[in-house]
Amino acid sequence: MIKSKYKWLYEPPTEYIADDVAKAHKLTPIIKKVLESKAITKDSDINALLSGSTVSHDPRLLSDMDKAIERINQAIDKNERILVYGDYDADGVTSTTILVNTLRMLGAEVGWYIPNRFTEGYGPNELAFRNAYDEGVSLIITVDNGIQGHNEIKMVQELGVDVIVTDHHEIGRTLPEAYAIVHPMHPEFDYPFHYLCGAGVAFKLSQVLLDNPPNYFESLAAIGTIADLVSLTDENRTIVKNGLAHLNEHCPPQIKAILNQAGFNDTINEETIGFIIGPRLNAVGRLEDASLAAELLMSEDEEEAEFLAEQVEHFNIERKDIVAQITEEALVMAEEKVNAGHQFLLLAKEDWHEGVLGIVASKIVETYSLPTLILNIDLEQNHAKGSARSIEQVSMFEILSAHQDLISKFGGHHMAAGMTMEIENIEPLEQGLNEWMAQLTEHTSLEPTKKVTVKLEEKDITVGNINDIQKLSPFGTDFEKPLFEIDDIDVTDVKAIGKDKAHLKLVAGEQQLQNLFWKNGQLATQLEIGQPINLLGHLQINEWNGNQSPQLIIQDLATNDEQILDYRSKRKQLDIDPTNHQYAFVIHPKKEKLDDNYYFYGEEIDPTHDIIVFRDLPPNLESIQQSLQGLTYSQLYLILQHSQSIYFEGMPNATLFKNCYKALMNKQEMNLAQEGMQLCQYLRIKPNVLKFMLKVFLDLGFITDENGIIKINNNPNKQAIESSRIYQARQARIEVEQLLLYDDFSQLKKWIKNQKG
């Protein structure tokens, strides 16, 4: 049995699409099921989704929008110096680009500034604001930050500089004393949609300032929306759909340069932004100054864009290497914390690169399904900085807010946060967070889950149906890509592929469905041809040599039945740690036990072992039957190693025993070393068979053996050949080999299951 990593949650829809509505929209059964799972069942909602109807709320409904516009226009009219104060992630640099370009188009005297993640941290920085004042700036507009910058904003406003905050992050207990706050969740305003990203808010501001902003601005807002993982519903869906359409109709040179460096020349979709564009824009600010990414997005010259994109690509490659190194170290620490019973993983170490700690935290969460905070300890500055990532059951903003007295500065939302704190507070914070989690888990399960969209049958998986599913895109947060469950589909081929055999490729079902499971190559040793499995994954179309075929990108898999796995062939190597106590190793009584997870055949096996390995061939069927009685396991590996096989030599018949004894009687005495081969030739047998027969005679007292000199006992007790222990042991060994080594594996599995009782 392979246990699923996640609990698969499938909830049948509570509302269904009426037949006449389904017919009117020509919905295929699979699309109908997907829409019903997302509770999209009304004719108007289906029409809006499939027709591409737009949802665009009046930007003047945003908090303080009129006040902000009036102040910006005043600054432009009076040639005041304006500073756009951004952030160092993809949402921040796209926000900055949108607003700076908007103000330039209006003839404003505008500059921009993105704080350094390492020297200034997230959000408003007092020194940066003072420098702006010293340089004659009289209006600062924050984008994608500012809602937590109370002290800095108050300070600069007292100097006579007005601050307009445009942000989308969680609002704290109080609002900063800014000139204006443009925020979709402002408590005193009722904007229809609360989940714009920073670039989305900047785009709405641009819509009021320009009436009809360039398409490039909406493309940038789409990049920020996807990269920041905000809800892909309502207005955000319109921004992303329009933005993707613009990118594919006429890809701006800045974005094209990024894609060229990545070697991408296909249709741009939400995954292109999520896995190619977004990470590269983020990489710059993670390692150094994010200004390079903003300069690239603001570049108007193709050659300059290519030059800047090449530098961005170098940062992305370096970022990957750094992430791999820190993740390796963090996983070791996380394992220790988990074993100690921690339910919130706080991992802190010196010399960890602060810029990538969010990525590392995500990888730890992916591995252990526990909320995680990764901190870099800076002894010179006497503080620790880092990033946190959460799971659905835990609001990172809520849990950190509850311990705000131990944190110098933080900002974030339900699933993620960034923070700075004093080193001496790390241990108290860790204790507090785990106590908070202990209270939560009294009534909330932390078991990781995956929500199944639709349960499919194999016949539903066609290229046409997958193309239909794509009509519902873009997919993202709150409008996830459909996750399909396929049960009891038989494996027809399986292997590990890629570097270090890290990935799993399997073929399943009558239609030979291709499946890929990234980073799970080890499962190739646990799956067998003909074995029914349950799959959970996303469907896509695989194109090869002009041919299209369905493909499932597996997110999880499981088997319902206990597995009996055939590793009797020397071509199959089972790579397991012999001291891993998850395994029980069952060995021949004449072998040596390495530790207490080793058992001889016939001994009772501790039921805490989940995986059983029959390492050696047992001496007889009775001993393996005793081991199997009442045995529980998820997987049983049959290695059954042995030095040699006697099955094909068989058992000498009575006539052969009789002829051998007669030959010995005639000689009375024989030197085995000198005359043994002659006797083998006479009897037409192999030396091993002769040795066995002589051992039987010796066991029965028919002969004596004195250092290889065989002598006949002329007065033996009359006994049947079959009564010899040596004979019986060989007979038992032949039975063992016949069943365990040479019988059809399906029959062997049946026999094993029957022995369990």
Q: What is the pLDDT of residues 616-646, one digit of tens each?
A: 999 999 999 999 998 988 889 999 999 889 9
- 563-604 pLDDT, tens digit each: 888 888 877 777 777 666 678 999 999 999 988 899 999 999
**Average model confidence (pLDDT) for the chain?**
94
- Dihedral, 22, 25, 30, 34 alpha carbons, nearest 10: -90
**Cα 417 to Cα 357: distance, rounded to the nearest angstrom:** 11
Q: What does the pLDDT average to over 736-753? A: 92
- Calculate the alpha carbon distances from 536 to 27, 485, 491, 495, 516 in Å: 23, 5, 14, 18, 11
- What are residue 7's DSSP bridge partners? 449
Q: Give SS3 for 395.
A: coil
Return the closest-CA partner of residue 79 out of 102, 106, 115: 106
Res 359 pLDDT > 90: yes
Strand ranges, E, within 116-198: 137-143, 162-166, 180-182
Res 1 pLDDT > 80: no
Q: Count of residues for the chain?
A: 757
Res 508 pLDDT > 80: yes
Ordered by where they begin, the domains of the chain are: 8-13+451-561 (2.40.50.460), 19-48 (no CATH), 59-250 (3.90.1640.30), 341-447 (3.10.310.30), 565-643+739-756 (no CATH), 647-723 (1.10.10)
Strand ranges, E, within 114-152: 137-143
**Cα 564 to Cα 356: distance, rounded to the nearest angstrom:** 43
For every residue of 727-746, DSSP letters joined together read HHHHHHHHHHHIIIIIS-HH
Task: Report whether 287 contacts 355 (CB < 8 A).
Answer: yes
Q: Report residue 394's pLDDT band, with 50, 70 and 90 as the boundaries.
A: very high
Strand ranges, E, within 19-92: 81-85
Task: Report whether 505 contacts 499 (CB < 8 A).
Answer: no
Q: What does the pLDDT average to over 59-86? A: 98
Amino acid at 491: V
**Tokens encoding 254:** 């800045």
Task: Report whether 138 contacts 159 (CB < 8 A).
Answer: no
Helix H or strand E segment including 623 = helix 621-628
Helix H or strand E segment including 657 = helix 654-667
Q: For residue 111, how many other CB atoms are within 10 A of its CB?
A: 15
Task: Report whether 675 contacts 601 (CB < 8 A).
Answer: no
Task: Report whether 253 contacts 119 (CB < 8 A).
Answer: no
- 697-706 pLDDT, tens digit each: 999 999 999 9
Q: What does the pLDDT average to over 129-142? A: 98
- What residue has token string 């807002």? 221
Please give the order of strands across the beta sheet that includes 372-378. Answer: 345-350, 372-378, 383-389, 416-422, 409-412
Res 414 pLDDT > 90: no
Q: What does the pLDDT average to over 478-485? A: 95
- What residue has token string 């992916």? 366
136 or 172, greater pLDDT: 136
For every residue of 235-284, DSSP letters joined together read HHHHHHHHHHHHHHHS--HHHHHHHHHHT--S---HHHIIIIIHHHHHHH
Task: Report whether 32 contacts 17 (CB < 8 A).
Answer: yes
The two beta strands, 454-456 and 449-451, are unpaired
**Cα 600 to Cα 516: distance, rounded to the nearest angstrom:** 39
**Tokens encoding 646:** 């006697």
pLDDT of residue 412: 74
**Cα 708 to Cα 689: distance, rounded to the nearest angstrom:** 16
- Lowest mean pLDDT across 22-31, 152-161, 326-335: 22-31
pLDDT of residue 174: 94
**Tokens encoding 684:** 């037409």
pLDDT of residue 531: 87
- 657-700 pLDDT, tens digit each: 999 999 999 999 999 999 999 999 999 999 999 999 999 999 99
Task: Report whether 542 contacts 514 (CB < 8 A).
Answer: yes
- What residue has token string 């799959």? 535
pLDDT of residue 757: 65
Res 740 pLDDT > 80: yes
pLDDT of residue 53: 78
Res 78 pLDDT > 80: yes
**What's CA 453's distance to the chain center, in Å?**
19
Return the closest-CA partner of residue 734 out of 657, 648, 655: 648
Q: Give SS3 for 459.
A: helix
Q: pTM of the full predicted structure?
A: 0.79
pLDDT of residue 103: 98
**Cα 242 to Cα 250: distance, rounded to the nearest angstrom:** 12
What does DSSP assign to residue 408? S
Query: Judging by beta carbons within 10 Å of its beta carbon (0-12, 13-18, 19+), is residue 326 exposed, middle or buried?
Result: buried
pLDDT of residue 454: 96
